[in-house]
Structure 1
């Protein structure tokens, strides 16, 4: 079985309202996930210049 591609590096909240940051271990791109009740979203995390935040691999 292959290694998981995404790693959660931050989590805040419980059950209905959650905010998490995930890193793609292949590209280093950071993503933010937010869930509030039945609604949720997953999108690249951007810096102050609108560029994706990239972590060292």
Structure 2
């Protein structure tokens, strides 16, 4: 039984040693930005101008 993936990559930008990807949580709609550079990386929710999470409906 295959379970559906919860996160979907909706945007990706790649460079020589870096990568930027936006993921959407299909259950909550919250958008996350993942940035990888070399062997380091980080994940954070995307925020709007008021500081609230960006939500895709």
TM-score (norm 2): 0.92
TM-score (norm 1): 0.92
Question: Where does the alignment leave 5 or more consecutive residues of structure 1 unmatched?
Answer: none
Question: Where does the alignment leave 5 or more consecutive residues of structure 2 unmatched?
Answer: none
Q: Which residue is 2:26 aligned to?
A: 25
| 3-state DSSP of counterpart to 1:10 | strand
Q: Which residue is 1:40 aligned to?
A: 41
Cα deviation 1:13-48 (Å, max 9, x = unaligned):
146200010000000000000011111001101111
